[in-house]
Amino acid sequence: MDAALPRLAVTAGEPAGVGPELLIRLAAGPLAADLVAITDRDLLRRAAARCGAAVALSDDDGARVRARAPGALRVHHVPLGAEERPGHPDPRNAAHVLATLAEAADGCLAGRYDAVVTAPLQKSSINEAGIRFSGHTEFFAARARAGVVMMLASPELRVALATTHLPLAAVPAAITAASLERTLRIVHAELGAKFGLARPRIAVLGLNPHAGEGGHLGREEIDTIVPLLDRLRAEGMQLLGPLPADTAFVPAQRARYDAVLAMYHDQALPVLKSEAFDRTVNLTLGLPFVRTSVDHGTALDLAGTGRADPSSMLAAARLALELAARAPGARDE
């Protein structure tokens, strides 16, 4: 007997961005998943018309199915606050966006969905609505009451972040022994649980140029990073570094590790995105469910044209399915 398809919740992100069109492109393909769009039903209809794609929308009844025809898309309807204008985010839709994320998180926690894939949203629009918001990662962490780590992964490289959406001036104070230990323990555990690596090797970047140059270019490595790495190595973790960021990604170094921990957002992500922008996936480590996302923004200049490239969305969905299949208690009936 054929197994039931995994139920993959997909949020459309910013209504005025490319997210709704990416969702339609995803549904139009043959992905072996029961896709449940968490967004406004009419928003999807308009996005499908802009893409020239034939989709069959139906209300989600929560039942498990064993097959999905290309173009079939179930919908958990969350109404917009105002009809979208492609390319022009409207703060009146901030509550809608957050409601879709809440349903995705709560549905995963309750077992209604096996994983969630998120399309890009516009953080500025949510903040302009008077709602303090720093990103998907932080939202899901708070909703699940979990300590999390942001990782971006391509087929060739995995990069986790010690700090995420912070001004550069705030990064040094955020790099503490306690925060680094928490992050490294999550990354180490998740590389085993989600990627099947029994003894993961993690390269840790220094904060300063040349990893501090023996203290001449900063003391964070000497005072904080090195003592922590030595302590965790004594427990059996395989940790390299701290490595200078400017040479950590050369081929000879890459052969030595399974993932990189970067100290801040733009320290390593430009390398990853320049190499594999259309194949890179954002995932949140540490959650009690699988969450992946595209690695790009709302592309407001492309919104409404139907020309947005769905490659990263498809990569995110495929990785979500792969990770969900490895999760404890994954459905195989």
Beta-carbon contacts of residue 328 (< 8 Å; ≥ 6 apart): none
Distances (CA, A) of 66 to 1, 10, 12, 325, 333: 10, 18, 24, 15, 10
Find the angle CA(178)-CA(180)-CA(185) to the nearest 5 degrees: 100
CA–CA separation, 98 and 91 (whole Å): 12
CA–CA separation, 279 and 313 (whole Å): 9
CA–CA separation, 100 and 294 (whole Å): 16
Q: Please name which of 144, 77, 76 lies closest in space to residue 110, comparing C-alpha atoms.
A: 144
According to the annotation, is 165 in a ligand binding site? yes
DSSP assignment of 56-124 equals EEEE------S---TTEEEEEE---SS---TT---GGGHHHHHHHHHHHHHHHHHTS-SEEEE----HH
According to the annotation, is 123 in a ligand binding site? no
According to the annotation, is 137 in a ligand binding site? yes
Helix axes 311-326, 19-28, angle to 10 degrees: 70
According to the annotation, is 136 in a ligand binding site? yes
According to the annotation, is 265 in a ligand binding site? yes
According to the annotation, is 282 in a ligand binding site? yes
Strands 149-153 and 281-285: antiparallel
In a 3-state reduction of DSSP, which class is residue 36?
strand
Residues making up the binding site for substrate = 136-137, 273, 282, 291
Residues making up the binding site = 136-137, 165, 210, 265, 273, 282, 291
Residues making up the binding site for a divalent metal cation = 165, 210, 265
